[in-house]
Amino acid sequence: MRPSLTLELPAVPKELREVRRGIRAYVGEPCADLQLCVSELLTNVIRHLGEGVPVTVRVSCTRDRTRLEVTDPDPRALPVLCRTAGEDDESGRGLALLDTLSVRWGVDRWPGGKTVWCELAAQPSGTERDAYRFQSDEVEGEPSRVSICVE
């Protein structure tokens, strides 16, 4: 088991790209689901607590799970899973995505903050991974769409 990745940063939109890249480098292989989850959790901090709030992002991997944690200083602003977002709504789907992609997720609170965490199943490895082809359309070096094709 390798040591966990810990990133401390202000929650601002321009940091999202670097956090996704850092996680991809740490995992060492495509990890679109994990990158989507961290984007959603950081975006929630920005939207509900404001830009510039200090956050800590941690990623740790075991043989069968990858755990993502996003810690912020506000124990009161809790995530709420909204399953009623309409088809024209521009928000309200982030935690539903996290809920769908993760094996489990939750919130740990204490007087000085909270950690929203999720656990994803480990990526396929060895011959299992050979059955997948990862594709992306690049826009200025940033994937704009990622798809997984089973061959």
Domains of the chain: 5-150 (3.30.565.10)
Place of tokens 């709030």: 53
pLDDT attached to residue 143: 38
pTM of model > 0.85 = no
Mean pLDDT of 135-141: 39
pLDDT digits (tens, 9 = 90+) for 7-50: 999 999 999 999 999 999 999 999 999 999 999 999 999 999 99
- 83, 76 Cβ separation under 8 angstroms: no
- 91, 79 Cβ separation under 8 angstroms: no
pLDDT attached to residue 2: 79
CA 72 → CA 18, 84, 92, distances in Å?
Answer: 18, 26, 20
One-letter amino acid identity for 127?
T
Scored b (16 or more CB within 10 A) or e, 90-104 reads eeeebbeebeebbee
Higher pLDDT, 39 or 82: 39
pLDDT digits (tens, 9 = 90+) for 87-99: 665 565 678 888 8
